[in-house]
Structure 1
Amino acid sequence: MCTSMHIFQKGIAFLFCAFYLYFPLIEFACACALLSSSPMSFPKQGLFLEKLGICHRYQMWRIALNGIPVMKSSYLIIKDLAFDDIPVRVYWPRTPSTSRRGILYLHGGIGVCGSIFYISVHLCIRFRLVPEYPSHVTIRDCCTAATHFLKNAKAYGVDPNRVLIAGDSSGGTFAAAVSQKLVMRDDLPRLRAQVLLYPFLQAVDFSLPSHQQNHSTPPLVDVDGIMKNAHVPEHVLVKCRKWISADNIPEQFKVRGYTPPVPAPFSKQLYETCKAAFDPTFSPLLAEDCIIRRLPDTFIYTCEYDVIRDDGLLYKKRLEDNGVSVTWFHVKNGYHGILFTLGFGTFESSGLKIKEFCPSGQLITAH
């Protein structure tokens, strides 16, 4: 059995490299090769195995990501707990304190993969995943755990007024959505800040400059089918045009190519399939101004070679227009999933910039 598993793993590794180590040459090709040989490149391998009838594509993703070793430290106390029935893993320094900062971190993985074992740093929430559970269940799990922590922060040596929420990729979506829900709760301490790392923030316009420029850049690919925006009805377009438009993207981000799209005929069938995506829970950019203006200080991290780069740029403008303080950091040679490469020297400046915004202290990571 063990030998068979090793053969299977080696076969997958071979398919992995053969399938993914070739793509258009761009200035960060070496870094992309590293990323494409990492668990971030499993989506297509998972689809390949699903078509062979071996396993569901999401099982492949989860096996890969859950296989990342747990990071341990002699400086930390690590415990598995439950916050109102939501499984969590808590990490905190061994040195006693009652006034540390706290970070609630929500992982990426488009809501279908990731766990408390994946990129864990200091408190991890095992929220339920799509497709077994609807996306609103994921948000509810995150809100439940966040609420519990804010109410009981002192028990973990954290000042409840010094807690921020953060997330990467779809975790950035969840972080933004949870922030919007928590600011309406007058019974909770106010979040000190939110940190959004290359977040997905809207499902209205898939023809923005970053979509046109980067739709074939790994690891997020295969968006050609939705770039025509045929899923969006007129009333949604009218409401969102002032918030989501290429006109709100600085010209410097159009120089690599942008052609104003020709409007596609509306498809009622596509709309019925996608209409849930227009809820601010899934598309935080669509929240009303009365919510946006109450949001905490925000750090937004975008990458040039990222198909959803412009979501971050649009949210930055939306927040600033509503008086929210925004710190923005753009990685000119960066790509989606760049945090997977932290520790390889070249991208240490990215980590340092994030650290400047959220100094060391109690770090709470939600998975």
Structure 2
Amino acid sequence: FSPVIIPVLLLAGVLYDLFNSELPPGIDQPLKLRFFHSLMITAMISGKILQKLGICSDFSLLRILLDGIPPCRDPKLLIKDLKVDEVPLRIYQPKWPPTGKRRGILYFHGGAGTFGSIRAFERICRYIAKKCDSVVVSVGYRLAPEHPYPGQYFDCLNATLYFMRNLEEYHVDPALIIISGDSCGANFATVICQMLLNKRDLPKVRAQILLYPGLQGLDFHLPSYQQNASVPILFRKLVIYFCFRYLNKEPSGLEDVLQGCHVPESMKQKYKKWISADIIPDEFKIRGYIPQKSTSYKPEVHEKIKEILGLTFSPLLAEDSIISQLPESYIVTCEFDVLRDDGLLYKKRLEDNGIRVTWYHSESGFHGILAFFGYGIFSFLSAKKIMDSTVNYINSL
């Protein structure tokens, strides 16, 4: 390889970012975000080239980049790695003697089901374990497309069942189990909480913590999708692209899915009471929102990506009989995140069903901001505020 290639690819990433991304006024540390986004684009472009050359898969470089740098050993924590049904778990326990039984927190990391790892979210899990005097279980569910959908949900469920059946070993209070995650990991947490309602032999979940969750695949024209369509690090088109890749399908017809041609008219009518811009508070439409014109249903598009309309992909569509049984919830939304309105809609559904919701809205946050948490000068101020609010919530339980 010529030594010129790396600077050229980096320049391509910078130029792509400059010409395609939008950094609205008020977003946290825009120059730093632009730098990280350029690196991410460079990794994706380089991955495509390496795949064409038959060297590695196109996600390989992105996975390495997002894995981050492993932190130093922490003398205050006992950290144990194990596998449950081939799924890696990392368990964080404070070394100081407990005053009583501790909380048990399961954490499912983000990454569109196709990247992300235990290591990438090591700093978050350590922070929660220490600040909340809790046992934290980070779940390294196996990634798509190598491990096909919906395997990720079963990996998360099996890890949860293992932990719930071995609470005594970790000195965890069965009345204080919390299920949490960020981005697609928050989707997994939502689905696992819904699945566990049928398992009467297990302890009841105390709370679910959903950090900027993605919860539906019906409407990609909600106000947050329009306002933040080109805001790093998750563009609107990238959401749909990652959906295709997660399902191990050829990412074609993105525009049709974006326009909602994959949703049958009967389904749109049935669920508009739960998924609609009309339900989003007006304060979130100030930055602009244009109601979408009606689009015609295309059965071939539906057939291609119908999985995103199922209850695992879109737990926001669960019936009231399910939602009304869910545990107390903590939801984080970020102003400059395409997925913001998914969190707002789920918050409303939970509250309408009598579930207590604690909501934290990051006015300057963007999607994926927690991936940079704990990196000193490379971190974002809003990420620290989100984590401190989350810690305060956990400590209040």
Structure 2, unpaired ranges of 5+: 126-135, 238-253
Q: What is the distance in 2 between the residues matched to 1:26 and 1:345?
A: 16
Residue 20, structure 1, aligned to residue 20, structure 2: no
Q: 1:219 to 1:25 in 2, by over 3 A?
A: closer
Q: Name the CA distance, whole Å, in 2 between partners of 1:58 and 1:40.
A: 11
Output the CA distance in 2 between the equivalents of 1:272 and 1:17.
37
Shift of 1:319: 0.5
Q: 1:41 to 1:285 in 2, by over 3 A?
A: farther
TM-score normalised according to structure 1 size: 0.89
Tell me if structure 1 keeps the 8 A contact 2:225–2:236: no
Deviations 1:192-236 (CA, angstroms, capped at 9, x unpaired):
111111110000111111111111111112527232100000221
Alignment counterpart, residue 226 of structure 2, candidates 185, 204, 212? 212
2:16 and 2:38 in contact (8 A); partners too: no
SS of structure 2 residue aligned to 1:57: coil
1:290 and 2:321 matched: yes
Aligned amino acid, residue 219 of structure 2: D
Matched to 2:24, the amino acid is I
Give the aligned partner of residue 60 of structure 1.
61
Alpha-carbon distance change, 207 to 146 in structure 1, aligned in 2, over 3 angstroms: same
Paired with 2:279 and 2:41, the residues of 1 have a C-alpha distance of 30
State whether structure 2 residue 75 is matched by structure 1 residue 74. yes
| 1:358 alignment counterpart | 394
Instruction: Work out which structure has the larger RCO, using CA pairs closer than 8 Å and 6 or more positions apart in sequence.
Output: 1
Alignment of 1:99-178 (within 5 A): 99-120=101-122, 121=125, 122-178=136-192
Q: Which runs of 5+ in 1 are unaligned?
A: 362-367
Aligned to 1:364: none
The within-5 A match list for 1:344-355 is: 344=379, 346-347=381-382, 348-355=384-391
Q: Closer, same or farther in 2 for the Cα pair 1:9/1:103, shift >3 Å?
A: farther
Deviation, structure 1 residue 308: 1.2
Q: CA RMSD in A?
A: 2.6
SS in 1 for 2:259: coil
CA drift of 1:258 comes to 1.0
Give the Cα–Cα distance (whole angstroms) in 2 for the partners of residues 18 and 53 of structure 1: 26
Shift of 1:132: 1.7
Work out the CA distance in 1 between the residues paired with 2:355 and 2:44: 36
Please point out which of 337, 357, 373 is paired with 1:326: 357
Q: Is the 8 A contact 1:78 1:90 kept in 2?
A: yes
In 2, are the aligned partners of 1:15 and 1:45 still within 8 Å (CA)? no
Task: Encode CA deviations 1:107-126: one digit per residue, 9 max, x unaligned.
Answer: 11000012222212243222
**Whole-Å Cα distance in 2 between the matches of residues 173 and 40 of structure 1?**
25
Retained in 2: the 8 A contact 1:170–1:200?
yes
* 1:230 matched to 2:244: no
Task: Give the secondary-structure state (helix, strand or coil) at the position aligned to 2:166.
Answer: helix
Q: Residue in 1 aligned with 2:275?
A: 244
Give distance in 2, aligned partners of 1:147 and 1:70. 29
Give the conservation status (yes or no) of the 8 Å contact 1:216–1:222: yes
Inter-CA distance 14–67: structure 2 relative to 1 (3 Å threshold) = farther
TM-score, length of structure 2 as denominator length? 0.83
What amino acid is aligned across from residue 17 of structure 2 in structure 1?
Answer: Y
Note if contact 1:151-1:160 (Cα within 8 Å) is conserved in structure 2.
no
1: CA distance between counterparts of 2:66 and 2:223? 31
| Secondary structure in 2 matching 1:353 | helix
Q: Structure 1 residues 22-31 or 329-338, which shifts more? A: 22-31
CA contact (8 A) 1:84 1:148 kept: no
CA distance in 2, matches of 1:181, 1:289: 14
| Number of residue pairs matched by the alignment | 358
Letter of the 2:340 counterpart: R
Distance, in Å, in 2 between the alignment partners of 1:161 and 1:137 is: 28
Q: Which stretch shifts more, 335-344 or 85-94?
A: 335-344
* SS of match in other structure, 1:281: coil
Moved more, 213-222 or 15-24: 15-24
Letter in 2 for 1:209: P
Give the aligned partner of residue 365 of structure 1.
none
CA distance, structure 2, for counterparts of residue 282 and residue 156 of structure 1: 32
1:300 to 1:152, Cα distance in 2 relative to 1, 3 A:
same
Matches of 2:199 and 2:2, distance apart in 1: 50
* Cα shift at 1:66: 2.9
Work out whether residues 70 and 118 of structure 1, in 8 Å CA contact, stay in contact via their aligned partners in 2: no
- In the alignment, is the contact (CA less than 8 A) between 1:198 and 1:308 conserved in 2? yes
Q: What one-letter code is carried by the residue in structure 1 that aligns with 2:274? A: W
CA–CA distance in structure 1, aligned partners of residues 53 and 11 of structure 2: 16
Q: Distance in 2 between matches of 1:339 and 1:5?
A: 35
- Aligned amino acid, residue 363 of structure 2: K
On the 8 A contact 1:101/1:360 being kept in 2, the answer is no
